[in-house]
Amino acid sequence: MNVQVKKVYRNSYLNIISALFKKLGLPQLIDHLVPVDPQCQTRVSDAVQAIIYNLFDGRQALVHLEHWAQEVDCEKLIRPDLHPSWLNDDALARHLDRLYEADIHKVISTCLIHIYRKEGLSLRAFHADTTDKTVYGAYESASLEALQITHGYNRHHRWQKQIGFGLIGNEDGIPFYGDVHDGNLPDKTWNPEVLSRVHEQLKQAKMEDEWIYVADSAAMTKDTLAQTKAANAFLITRGPSSLRIVKRALAEADSPHIPWSEPFTLAERNGATYRVWETAATYEGHPVRLIVVESSALDQRKGKTLEKERVKEAELLREEQVRWERHPFSCREDAEQALTSLKASLRPRFHRVEAAVEEIVRPKKRRGRPKKGAEPETETLYTLRLNVEFDQQAWEQARRKASRFVLVTTVPKEWKGQPMDAQEILKLYKGQISVEMNFAFLKDPFFTDEIYVKKPERVAVLGYLFLLALAIYRVLQRRVRQFITPEHPLKGAGGRKLTRPTGQAIFQLFQYVNVVLFQLPDGRIQRALDRSLNPDQRRILQGLGMDESIYV
Whether 531 is in a domain gets the answer yes
For residues 61 and 141, membership in a common domain is answered with: no
For residues 397 and 248, membership in a common domain is answered with: yes
287-302 tens-digit pLDDT? 999 999 988 877 666 7
For residues 117 and 83, membership in a common domain is answered with: no
For residues 251 and 353, membership in a common domain is answered with: yes
Whether 437 is in a domain gets the answer yes
Q: What number of helices (H) and strands (E) belong to the chain?
A: 18, 19
For residues 150 and 196, membership in a common domain is answered with: yes
For residues 420 and 503, membership in a common domain is answered with: no
Whether 461 is in a domain gets the answer no
Which region, left, alpha or beta, applies to residue 449 given φ > 0 means left and ψ of -120 to 50 means alpha? beta
pLDDT band of 139, cuts 50, 70, 90: low
pLDDT at 503 over 90: no
pLDDT over 90, % of the chain: 30
Whether 134 is in a domain gets the answer yes
29-85 tens-digit pLDDT? 999 999 887 778 889 999 999 999 988 887 655 567 888 888 888 889 999 888 888
Whether 434 is in a domain gets the answer yes
CA 222 to chain centroid, in Å, comes to: 25
Cβ burial, residue 481 (10 Å; 0-12/13-18/19+):
middle
User: How far is the C-alpha of 59 from the C-alpha of 37, rounded, in Å?
Assistant: 28
Q: Decide if 349 contacts 313 (C-beta within 8 A).
A: yes
Whether 463 is in a domain gets the answer no
Write down the pTM of the prediction.
Answer: 0.80
If one counts the domains in the chain, the total is: 3
The pLDDT score that the predictor gives to residue 330 is: 86
User: How far is the C-alpha of 449 from the C-alpha of 134, rounded, in Å?
Assistant: 9
CA angle 294, 297, 302 (to 5 degrees): 85
User: How far is the C-alpha of 117 from the C-alpha of 23, rounded, in Å?
Assistant: 13
CA distances from 425 to 4, 32, 275, 287 (A): 63, 41, 13, 16
The DSSP annotation for 412-456 comes to -SEETTEE--HHHHHHHHHTTHHHHHHHHHHH-TTTS--B--SSH
Whether 452 is in a domain gets the answer no
For residues 121 and 219, membership in a common domain is answered with: yes
The runs of H, that is alpha helices, within 298-450 are: 300-326, 332-345, 392-402, 422-430, 433-443
- List, in order, residues 6 or more apart from 400 with CB less than 8 Å away: 294
Tell me the CA end-to-end span of the chain in Å, nearest whole number. Answer: 21
Average pLDDT, the chain: 84
For residues 399 and 286, membership in a common domain is answered with: yes
Domain range spanning residue 155? 105-239+416-441
Backbone angles phi, psi at 219, to 5 degrees: -80, -10
Q: In terms of Cα–Cα distance, which of 427, 542, 401, 465 is closest to 178?
A: 465
- Residues, the chain: 552
